[in-house]
Every structure is written in C-alpha cells, then in structure tokens.
Chains A and B, each alone.
Chain A
Amino acid sequence: MSLYLPNKVTLIKIIEETPTIKTFVFKPHVSFSFKTGQFVELTYPGAGEAPFTPSSSPNKKDEFEVTIMRVGRVTELFHNAKEGEVLGVRGPYGNGYPLDDFKGKELLIVGGGVGLAPLRSLIYALYARINDFKKIVICYGARSPQDIIYKYQLDEFKDQTKVEFRLTVDRAEPTWKGNVGIVTTTLDKLPIDTKSATGIVCGPPIMMKFVSLKLLELGFAPDKVYLSMEKNMSCGLGKCGHCRLGKYYICKDGPVFKLQDIKDMWDIWD
C-alpha cells in the first residue's frame, strides 16, 4: 500500500474543551502507537487531511486522542464530525520528545493555548516515570478563562509532589481569581536551577519566540530548550517539500527541535 494512504480509525468520543477546541478520541482499526511529541496526519475521508500531535498518553495502546482547534477547512470538518464516524490516520511521523535525555533533570514545560495538547501527552509520559525527574514546573497560558483546555484535569496534574503548576490568562473578567498576564509572566522565580534545567515549549509561534527569549535570559542553555514546531505539511514524510525551512524538514527532522539548532535560522517564527 502506498505510504500516503491512511488507515481507518473510529471516532468514539468527542470532548468539548472550549467553544473552538474539541478533543477527539479515536480507536484505530489496525495497531497504532506513537512516541510522545510525534505527530499524525488525520484524514477526513474524501475531503482532506492535516497534521496533529496526539494529546493522549503514548502508553495507552487501544486508543489515542487529538485536541483540535477549529481554524480552517479541515479542522472545521473534524469539528462537525459525529461520534461513530470512521476517519483516517497516517503516521506517526517525526522525532518526538527525547525522554531519556530528560532523565534526572529539572523540567520546565511551557504551553500556550491549544499548544498544551502535545504537552499533555508529554505530561502523561513523564508522570508514568515520575521518579526519573527531579522536579517539573508546568506553566500554561490561555487567552481567557473560557479558553483553558483540560479544565477537568488540571487539578489532577497539580496533584504531584514533584510538580508545580502555574496558570495564567491574558485577560479575564473581574471574577477570575487567578493570574492575569501572558505566559512569560509566570516564568519568574522558578524553583529550579535554570542553568541546568531543561525547557520544553509548545504554543503559537509568537509565544514560542518570546518564551525562548525569556528562557535564554533566565539562563537556560539553548541546547536544553526544546520547541515543538509546526508548519504547513502535506506528506509528513520529508518528500512534499512544504515544511522545509533552511536545512530542515520540520516533519522529519522535527517537529521537536532544540532551540540551539534553529535559533539563528531566518523565518523560523513566522
């Protein structure tokens, strides 16, 4: 079979996260597994496909979840899909997070908006071997309290002795009791040694740019900051050419890159 053709998945559950974001639970018809941070191409049969990074635990074998924001033609199709529909998946593709390199480290995870989706998969993977890490700080910024995803799980994420969870929103009604401010405002006074810690960032390009600059300012080493990049992708296999930037295919050489390797490239944040 051609490497560009999808396998069947049944959409077994849809979870409304926010007015524009839903989490879809898929049951693959043929065996499927992924490393956290890898992405898949989801197909709406006969209509189109797009790349997404699963938001579920890589250790969960019989189903996987993808959290999708409605932003364009294909995501609109998914948002209109019904439980029980049979859709398609290709992949997984790309490198994923190098979990073994994180061993024994203090980790800072910074998520922006729907960028928390791939990071949730990572968080599940980290929690499954929590003894491997010294400390985990998770900072999550959403546009407003209504835009926070996984609300029903955040308490569960906080409920770990080694974990500190910081939440902020860009703007809020006066009734909001939590922090207000962009995600970089949560990065001061971190309870970790920034010189030796590892940073993992996922969010919109502008957020990743400013978080990266902030982390460098805080003393993080550029080769210990990992970014999950996204670009227009068609094949996901390093053949169609769409996602190449400079000397990298985002799909094949990434989507997870060390800041060190891309910080001097042109157009990387666009």
Chain B
Amino acid sequence: MNHTLDFIESNNFLKLLNNLTKAYQVFFPAETKKNYFWQSYTGNFAFNNYRAVTSIRQFLTSAVEPIGDYFKTKTENSKPFCIVGAKACDLSNALKVQDYVFLEGDVDENYKKMRQQNLIISSDCTAIKETCFCLAFGIKPYPEELFDLNISPAENGYAVRIGSDRGEKIVAENKDLFKDITWQMREEHERKRSDIVKKLTLQVSQLNFPQKELLYDLMKNGYGDGVWPSEALRCVECGACIMNCPTCHCFLLFDTKDENGYFKGRIWDGCQYKNFTRVAGGASALRFREYRLRNRYIKKFEFFPSRINTYACTGCGRCVEDCPAKIDLRKIFATLDKNQKH
C-alpha cells in the first residue's frame, strides 16, 4: 500500500467527517477529565492524544447484539461505523486475534460485515498514559497497519497516510479537501513520532517487563507460580479487564422472546466471571479466582501464540489502568520472569 503523506487542514477535516456521515456512523474519542470516551460525531471534533478508555471492539461486535429472530429469515441493515482516533493498540495484534476468532473456519457474518464495511481513520499518539506499554509488544505509538487512513497532527491540520484501497478511494472522492504536504511538515511529522517513541521507550524500560519472545515460555512454565493466587486474591470479578480489552472476544448466546417470536442475542462474557465454565451438574474447571486469572493469561500468551503466532495483547494498558484491585499484567510477567530465573 502506498504510504505517501497528504495534508488536510482542520476545517477541511471537519468537512471530510461531515461527508462521511452520509455513509457511516462516525465515532471519535471525546475528552472528559483527561480520558477519552467514544462519542458520536455531531459536528465538533477534537484530536485524542492517546487511546480511548474502551477499545474499538464495540464497533466489531456490540456488547449486546441481536443475532436475529430464529425460524425466520430477516436481516437488518444499519450504517457501518467510521472509527476516528483508533490507536495502534486498538489495531495491531487486536484485529488479528478478533479476525481469527470470528472469520477463521465458520464465518460470523455480523463480524464480517463490520470488518468489511467499517472505515478506520486511526491516529498517532501524541501523549502517553502511565499504563501505556505497546512498545513491549513491538507496537509503535502510531499505527503502521490495519487502518484505512491515519492522521497525525500537523500545524493547522493533519498529515494523512493512506492504508487501504478504501482509504485511497475516500481521499480521491474528497480530493479538493487535501493538499500536498511540505517537506517542513514531513520533517516535523517524523520528529514528533520519534519524540513519542523516545518517551515511551523510557517508560517501558522502567517496567522490568521481559522480552516479548520470553512470554510464551514464562506462561507455559508458570502455571504453578505463586503470583496467581496472590494476585487473584484481590480480584473482585468486575470484568473491567475483559470488557475494555481489545483482544478479548468471549461471549454468551442467549435466547428470549420478542414481539416477532423467538430471538437469539449475544452478550460479551469473560473468563474472570465465576460461572464462566460452570456446567449444569455444578462442576467448573475455572472455579477459583486464581484459575480464572491464570486462564486469561494462558489464552493471551499461550493459546493465541500457538494458533496464530501472535500475542493477544497490545500493551494498551487498559486492564492495568481499569483494575480496581491493581492487578497489573506488567508486574505479573516481571514476577514470573524473576521467579523462573532463580
């Protein structure tokens, strides 16, 4: 894909978003008290410096989603999403994992439709949160893949990178809104990127987080480690780590009745909840919190690497930031690493 840079002025970017509302439901992360929350675009836009509180998973499979009325054939059509302000930690690893789950083998049509039709306008991080550690997974704080368009703040506007045919088409359809980029802008753009990488490198270097190549073996050899019971003791099973994680995908199908007859829906579920593995007789493979905590890590650092050679973690730090019990993935791996060295 050609990665040439274009430039779009801020007011033209608003025009672009306005144009996109014709075909898309446009969402962007809006700031409230230094955090960003996905909000529907209604004419005002401000750039988000870092990731939103929740991942973009909600634009792929809704938290509660109709599967449909059964014993009937009926499909509903709604506008796809245009996701503005997704960060690298929403895309790299995350979409690879979600695509494997929902598209490999039996295809989940709802998901496929979202992936095919959604437009992703991602953006560079221009600041970092205390919990950010994407670099530990080799993910840069600016998207390098899996976007249609990527924007990077520049003077009075944004440097725009095209990442897909669809992105190219959008630029072509709106070509009056774009300008060629100047070499000063290009230099400024590169400088900003290298500055944020430096800042993040420093932050990650202070974590004692093991090399990513070691995580699989640390996990595999760490089932009996004392870190699981000691950390899990504090877990209150709120599920924040699951619901906000860009790679979590587990769900529960449910059946109910509605005015049209019988209805099946799907709701996000997760392995930190007590009854996740409970069977009717009462047995439950993950009956203790320590088993459940460990299970989440097995899935992300052993199962997915063995299936698709990808860690199901993007270093977004959401599970760390959102945990009321301060269970910290970065510290758990530092502990496993320490305990396995001695």
Given A2-B68, A71-B280, A241-B271, decide whether A234 and B255 contact each other with a Cβ distance below 8 A: no
Contact status A240-B252, CB under 8 Å: yes
With A45-B255, A239-B108 as given contacts, are A246 and B303 in contact (CB-CB < 8 Å)? Answer: yes
The answer to whether A3 and B108 have CB atoms under 8 Å apart is yes
A232 near B: Cβ within 8 Å? yes
A221-270 interface (Cβ within 8 A of B): 230-232, 234-235, 237-247, 252, 266-268, 270
A75 lies within 8 A of B73 (CB): no
Chain B residue numbers with a CB within 8 Å of A237 are 105-106
* In the complex, per-residue mask of B254-278: 1 if CB is within 8 Å of any chain A CB, else 0: 1111000111101001110000111
Q: In the complex, what distance in Å separates the CA atom of A47 from the CA atom of B256?
A: 5
Asked whether, in the complex, the Cβ of A49 is within 8 Å of the Cβ of B253, the reply is yes
Q: Are A240 and B269 in contact (CB under 8 A)?
A: yes
Contacts of B281 in A (CB 8 A): 71-72, 204
Partner of A45, one of B70, B254, B283: B70
Q: How far is the CB of A73 from chain B (nearest CB, A)?
A: 8
Q: How many A residues have CB within 8 A of the partner chain?
A: 44
How many chain B residues touch A (Cβ–Cβ < 8 Å)? 49
Instruction: Report if A125 contacts B (CB, 8 A).
Output: no
Q: Which of A4-12, A31-39, A143-151 contacts B (4 or more CB under 8 A)?
A: A4-12
- Asked if A104 CB lies within 8 Å of chain B CBs, one says no
Complex Cα spacing A74 to B254, Å? 12
Q: Which of B73, B255, B279, B291 contacts A267 (CB 8 A)?
A: B291
Q: Is A46 an interface residue (CB 8 A)?
A: yes
Chain B positions 216-273 with a Cβ under 8 Å from a chain A Cβ: 223, 249-257, 261-264, 266, 269-271
Contact A244 B108 (CB under 8 A): no
A210 to chain B, nearest CB (A): 15
Known: A3-B108, A246-B298, A270-B287. A232 touches B279 (CB 8 A): yes
Shortest C-beta distance, B218 to chain A (Å), equals: 16
- A5 contacts B108, CB within 8 Å? no
A7 to chain B, nearest CB (A): 8
Chain B residues contacting A4 (CB-CB under 8 Å) are 67, 253, 264, 266
**With A and B bound together, what is the CA distance between A40 and B261 in angstroms?**
22
Q: How far is the CB of B277 from chain A (nearest CB, A)?
A: 5
Contacts of B280 in A (CB 8 A): 50, 71-75
Beyond A88-B71, A238-B105, whether A232 also contacts B253 by CB under 8 A is no
Closest to B111 in A: A239
Residues on B with C-beta less than 8 A from A5 are: 67-68, 70, 264
**A238 CB to closest chain B CB, in angstroms?**
7
* Interface residue? A64 (CB, 8 A): no
Residues of B within 8 A of A247 (CB): 302-303, 306-307
A49 B255 Cβ-Cβ under 8 A: yes
Contacts of A244 in B (CB 8 A): 299, 303
Q: Is the CB of B284 closer than 8 A to any CB of chain A?
A: yes
A48 to B70 CA separation, bound complex (whole angstroms): 13
Q: How far is the CA of A246 from the CA of B277 in the complex (A)?
A: 13
Q: Identify which of residues 42-84 in chain A touch chain B, using a CB-to-CB cut-off of 8 Å.
A: 43-50, 71-75
**Residue B109 at the chain A interface, CB threshold 8 Å:** yes
- Which residue of A8, A74, A235, A243 is within 8 Å of B253 (Cβ)? A235
Task: List, in ascending order, chain A residues with CB within 8 A of B270's CB.
Answer: 241
**A-contact bits for B142-176, CB 8 A (1 contact / 0 none):** 00000000000000000000000000000000000
B143 CB → nearest A CB, Å: 26
Q: In chain B, what residue has the closest Cβ to A267?
A: B285
- Asked if A181 is at the interface of the complex by the 8 Å CB criterion, the answer is no
Contact A1 B105 (CB under 8 A): no
**Which chain B residues lie closer than 8 Å to A270 at the CB level?**
283-285, 287
Question: Closest CB-CB distance, A226 to chain B, in whole Å?
Answer: 20
**Chain B residues positioned under 8 Å from A232 (CB to CB):** 276-279, 284
Name the B residues within 8 Å of A48 (CB-CB): 254-255
Besides the known contacts A45-B255, A266-B223, 7 further A-B residue pairs in the complex with CB atoms under 8 A apart? A2-B108, A6-B71, A46-B256, A88-B262, A230-B279, A234-B253, A244-B299
What residues of chain A have their CB less than 8 Å away from a CB belonging to chain B?
Answer: 1-6, 8, 43-50, 71-75, 88, 204-205, 230-232, 234-235, 237-247, 252, 266-268, 270
